Homo-oligomer: A and B are copies of this chain.
Amino acid sequence: MKALTAKTPLIALLAYLTSSLPLSAQEGVWEIGARTLPPSVGVSEAFRQSQINTPKLDPTAMDFVPANDAQWLEHIEEKDAATAKVAVAIADALNVTIKEAELAGVKVHWLTPPETDAVHQNHLFVYIHGGAYVYNGGKAGLVEPSLIAARLRMPVVSIDYRMPPNHPAPAASDDVIAVWKALLETRPNNAMVMGGTSAGANITLASNQRFVELGLPVPAALYIGTPTVDLNAEAGDSRHLNEEADRILVTMGPFAVEAMNLYAGELGLDHPYVSPIFGDFANLPPSYLITGTRDLLLSDTVRAHRALRRAGVEAQLHVYEGQGHADYIVAMKTPESAEHYAELNRFVLEFLSAPSSEKEAAHLDTLPQAIPTSTAY
């Protein structure tokens, strides 16, 4: 028995090579035992402390689902009001100015950093916020674009797209298309990059697939931060393996599933406008992707990375030890977060239009230090 068990890896190899094993009654569904997860090693002390300071969340805490549209709207309004205060506080601390406007009938916010990098003078970051497809309308969507404006020292326009329950897909990508067409009237496509996190990264991919369908020029590069690319609730190893380990999403529970259903609406979960993993990745712009080892959407991110590369698109994947979903936003004060935005800046500068002499003036290595360390954001 002992000699046999020690040979298990070879046996697994031989089993596959001969394909002689009977199918399991459960067709490959495995029951995985409970385990203990210590704080991550090999991360910065600041990130490790932020893990230690986070109480483990009970997955049943995500069971709440509003019962009807009125309750959804009330819940969303209450949550967004609280988030908007955080977003405005962060923008203020970073000296990022916010200006409300409208482009092609769609609400947007223009975010201007205290100083724009010389290399980005003619550039624009077109930001698409996340928030489970229902949250972060209005100023609540301005947390990450404030960070981007400040850390990349680049102007940002953030699209305040329409959302469920009143506006299911494809309203969000319709709005992005309208704004994109308007922006193309004002500057060349390769002076702009586009992207966002979570639902925002999904809508970025779906919108760009629609740009290609429509024959529109595409942005110079995309930012795909831990996206949902497959809105089927069970899709992806990490949604199972990282359940409870992801301190941000915790679980793909009833609330998230119902929000995704609301977003999909009549198009259904498998429509590429809803789940872009089922769309065509050919001719998409070069893409930067980020996720973490505790992220419920690790699988979505790596599936998108492979789909891009299989389509011949330049795509660069970053996976951070210990990070849950979008931890680079939640743990924004950590070296890992600064590192991520410096990497993102490096990536987009490779593809944005600029004379090479200006590129050399970017002083990329000093970027993280450009954030005022005295601000209490």
Contact = CB atoms under 8 A, between A and B. Distances in A.
Copies in the complex: 2
Interface in A1-36: 2-3, 5-10, 12-17, 19, 21, 23-24, 27-36
B41 A235 contact: yes
Nearest to A65: B6
A73 interface: no
Interface in A296-335: 298-299, 302-303, 305-306, 309-310, 316-322, 329-331
Interface string A31-57: 111111111111000001011111111
A57 B319 contact: no
Contacts of A53: 15-16, 19, 21, 23, 28
Contacts of A249: 9
Chain A interface extent, by class: 35 or more
A78 interface: yes
Contacts of A50: 16
Contacts of A331: 16
B30 A56 contact: yes
Contacts of A330: 12-13, 16
B244 A30 contact: yes
Contacts of A9: 248-249
A325 B206 CA distance: 32
Contact of A343 (B302, B303, B309): B309
Given A16-B50, A17-B377, A38-B29, A78 B3 contact: yes
A61 interface: yes
Given A298-B293, A302-B320, A75 B31 contact: no
A306 B320 contact: yes
A79 interface: yes
A255 interface: yes
Interface in A75-101: 75, 78-79, 82-83, 86
A75 B5 CA distance: 12
Contacts of A298: 293, 319
20 contacts: A5-B64, A8-B57, A8-B61, A9-B248, A12-B57, A12-B248, A13-B329, A13-B330, A16-B54, A24-B52, A28-B39, A30-B244, A31-B34, A32-B245, A33-B34, A33-B59, A237-B294, A293-B302, A306-B321, A309-B343
10 smallest beta-carbon distances between A and B, as pairs: A28-B52, A5-B61, A28-B39, A302-B319, A6-B64, A237-B293, A2-B64, A30-B37, A30-B56, A42-B303
